[in-house]
Structure 1
Amino acid sequence: MFEMITGALTWLLGGAFLFWIALLVLCGFTFSNVRGRSYWWASLCLGLLVFCVAFRVTEFGTYILENPLMIVAWFLGYIGIGLVVSVGKWAYVVRDSKPRLQEHRNEYKRNQEAVDADHYETFEDFMEDRIINRHSSFKVRELAGKKVVVLNTDKQPIPEWIMFWPVTILTYVLEPVFSLVSRLAKHMGHLYDTISAKMLSA
């Protein structure tokens, strides 16, 4: 049985064409699962990808077997880079959330000015009562002895940013392409509607 599995892997990964096809497929599955937040499947695909490279490139496979501590060090370095990427991504997300928080501040001011409304001592009390109970992307925490409004980390895919930081960076690289395609699709909406109207009316 082991010989059959080894033979199949040798056939699949032995040729350059099939090897690169396998890598591209695994990369695609990894990217897709990361974007879908299926981290276990993404990790499995990533593990299979590393295994395929180690099986095909014998020097790399031998290096892994002979230098386990170095592999652990490389992995910790990889996670370290992911932590740095996650902090940068988090700052970007927090910056984008400021307009939404300002809307809540405006709502708080209107509430305080209303005669028949429930009044709150602080904006944070207002957020706790009105926003947090609605599964908001914000939450109230106590930092340095005072209540502050922060972005809810549970609403963001932080494990993705740390464990799959290359995908996060790739998303930024491809963001202009996605935006361009979205704009093109929006501008062609009339054409799509015309085609569907003609085909559905037949």
Structure 2
Amino acid sequence: MSTIFHYTKGYNLFDILMSQEIKTEAVTGVRLHPSVTNFAWFTAEVRFPRTALPHVPKMPETNLQLHLGTEKPHVDMLKLAGYVGGIWRFKFNRSEFKSIKTWIGSYHRQKLLKSPIGKINEIVAKKAGDKQELWFISSKAVSIAGMTLQQLTPQGWVDRADFKNQGGIVVVADAGKADISKIMTDSYLQRIKMGMPVLEFPIAA
């Protein structure tokens, strides 16, 4: 199992592409359990994790609570993409990223399981159908150099950009696949549309 992914929503792409890294929870402001977790999360699953679904009021099926029963609602991911600026993932070979470790068997998971909320999180993930044995974590931010950005489309997952390290700078390896500037602008505008905080967008002179 060498190929793993970081799934995200379109409104998060601006920050990831600006910083050129996938950040940990403490930086993004979304933390599983503040006292013991501060990771960047990844999975080998080929579908968007149900525990990471954004709750869209106009799509009640995105409510995580509805996925904890025996019968789970179908979520039209392409429909969801229209509300969140697209469904995206960063694809890469885990062996090339030494800071990324398996979640199962980790010291961090064992520590989390000692807390009541940790046990609840474990149960919720299992009931939702997410496979924790396929989860991976990094306790520090992970550079996107060496990753491929993919977008979910009606034709399936499509490569949009490859990133590589060039003299310590992350650059787009194949600029012909997509317009990164447009992807970033769309993400920025999506955040504004959703009333989310935005960083200053640099404007070329």
Q: Could you state the TM-score of these two structures normalised by the residue count of structure 2?
A: 0.22
Decide which structure has greater strand share. Answer: 2
More helix by share: 1
